[in-house]
Structure 1
Amino acid sequence: MEVTPKAIFLDMDGTILNHQNQVSIHTKEIIDELRNRGINVFIATGRAFEEIEGIVPPGFQVDGIVASNGMVGYAGHEVIFKHSLSRELVETVIKMARENKVYYELFPYGSPRITLKQDRDYVENEIRDPKPEGVGINEWSSRKDAIKEKINWADEIRGNEFSKFYFFARTKEQINHWKEKLELLKKEIDFTTSISTEYNVELMVANVNKATGIQQMLKHFNLSERETMAIGDSDNDLPMLRLVNYAVAMKNAPDSIKEVTDDVTEFTCDEDGVYHYLKSKLIL
């Protein structure tokens, strides 16, 4: 890295979040230090904006957040940009998910995620113990928490602003079958899908991803792509990693991610990899 970046974009799950879904105090401290030195630090996550406060340390601050895989961007609580799924797409996808018994969560803006009551039995059954061997503990814990207290089990869908769908399956065969169904639906209604593990898929507005969100955030802050660094670990980070000037993969990332980046952290997300990397590279 020849030039200190003016903007750093950090993924959450598998990057600044460890496998217990926590951001360490060391990560908060290094972000504070970088911001004090005039470097803009942003979050770029697949998670909804409303999820973030509950998984970061007290006092955690960044310059902006690109949430829901590029669907919405915030500077503080100011909305910089926002996209929304159409009501037609929402209703079509829920009907398809029910027919295929696919676990789903719909994320409205500004309110808890929704799953319809009529789908509760089969959705809860997907999260029955024991945990499937291949599913990561952080994803499994997030689903357990969702079932227990995060989902609004609704009689009907209300409102017209939705940031994304999240889908999960216990087996790769089931989620891959669902991905095939979504690809067929794309021929009728245009949208974008993204994956962060082998057991999930998320659905957003067409041509929206972390990279498009970052471009809008950079424009708001009068920054250029030449001045950017990003750190990530999974497939939904690929657009972001390909966009920025200097891309970094986590040690815990698969080889397919590491192959497209400029560097790899020495430590994993469970070893404060982002903290150690930023401290060694940028804090002289």
Structure 2
Amino acid sequence: MSQKLITIDLDGTTLNNQNKVSQKTVAVIKAAGAAGHIVSIVTGRPYRISAAIYDQLQLKTPLANFNGALTHIPHQHWSGEYKRTINKAIVLDMLENQQKLQLKMIAAEGKHTYLANHLPPADLNFFPATLREDQLLSKSSLVHNPTSLILFVAPHQEQVVRNTVLHHYGQQVDVGVWGGPNSVLEIVSKGIQKAKAVAYIAKQYHIDRRNIIAFGDEHNDAEMLEYAGRGVAMQNATPTIKSIANDVTEFDNDHDGLAKYLESYLQLAK
């Protein structure tokens, strides 16, 4: 079998419903690597909450964070590393207009930086539960252009804030809505999407598009699944993602759907 690039989403795909990686998943991904395939995590998560999973899977391949705004190889200097950032002036402007926009929290992130003007609600566990003084978002602390900007907005204000942001900065940024119970918007540099990171990684390894297998479950995986030669939706994926995928896993993320599919497709079982 020719060398494959296997790109995997984390939440709802590689991780089970307890946000853990099963031993079966670790074993299958290790076997895929040993068989000569490239496995890359392509996630909306920042590096700070994907590094431990990357290490648990014992990967040495590129990792794409922030839906592809940052692509790097952890723990080493990689000449292919790239990031697309947001002009910090946009962040400072939002900070100034936070009351007008009804923003409850603004968080600016980079590969190793996290700055916020407020602690998140207790149930938003994607963010640090404490803030050090040097993590307080301000004009003086925001030294570099961030890679991602998170806005926690007043309930049901997502579309209003999204439209306002696009009206003022639409030439420079894209705005994504997290969905789920919380009103959260994510802002990234214009044109950022997972498919671009996948294409970039494939180019680094000279892997043809038809030899890319991508796994996902949510709306931010759509372009990646469409781009890949074989887009695979999880059994627990949204109907939209299932409709654009080439295939659907037999089992969901809580029953090793990704691992079982890969094991069978790559004929890894001993």
**Which TM bucket (shorter chain)?**
0.7 to 0.9
Give the Å deviation of 1:205. 0.7
Residue of structure 2 equivalent to 1:250 = 234
| SS of match in other structure, 1:13 | helix
Match of 2:163 among 180, 185, 202: 180
Moved more, 33-42 or 83-92: 83-92
Looking at secondary structure, tell me which structure has more helix per residue.
Answer: 1
**Contiguous gaps of at least 5 residues in structure 2:** none
Q: Partners of 1:167 and 1:269 in 2: how far apart?
A: 28
| SS of match in other structure, 2:250 | coil
Residue of structure 1 equivalent to 2:215 = 231
Contact kept? 1:44, 1:66, Cα under 8 Å: yes
CA RMSD of aligned residues (A): 2.5
Residue of structure 1 equivalent to 2:179 = 197
| SS of match in other structure, 1:259 | helix
Identity in percent: 22
Q: Partners of 2:60 and 2:158 in 1: how far apart?
A: 34
With structure 1 as the length reference, what TM-score do the two structures score? 0.81
Contact kept? 1:194, 1:235, Cα under 8 Å: no
Letter in 2 for 1:175: E
| SS of match in other structure, 2:167 | helix
Q: Partners of 1:266 and 1:215 in 2: how far apart?
A: 27
Give the Å deviation of 1:232. 0.5
Contact kept? 1:106, 1:164, Cα under 8 Å: yes
Q: For 1:73-125, what per-residue CA distance to the aligned partner results, in whole angstroms no more than 9, with x for missing partners? A: 113432522211112222223334443124332103322x1112xxx2xx54x
| SS of match in other structure, 1:197 | coil
Q: Partners of 1:170 and 1:269 in 2: how far apart?
A: 31
Residue of structure 1 equivalent to 2:90 = 89
The structure-2 alpha-carbon separation of the partners of 1:194 and 1:239, relative to structure 1 and needing over 3 Å to count, comes to farther
Q: Partners of 1:249 and 1:170 in 2: how far apart?
A: 32
The structure-2 alpha-carbon separation of the partners of 1:106 and 1:254, relative to structure 1 and needing over 3 Å to count, comes to same
| SS of match in other structure, 2:259 | helix
The structure-2 alpha-carbon separation of the partners of 1:240 and 1:93, relative to structure 1 and needing over 3 Å to count, comes to farther
Residue of structure 2 equivalent to 1:153 = 136
The structure-2 alpha-carbon separation of the partners of 1:4 and 1:250, relative to structure 1 and needing over 3 Å to count, comes to farther
**Contiguous gaps of at least 5 residues in structure 1:** 132-139
| SS of match in other structure, 1:15 | helix
Give the Å deviation of 1:168. 3.6
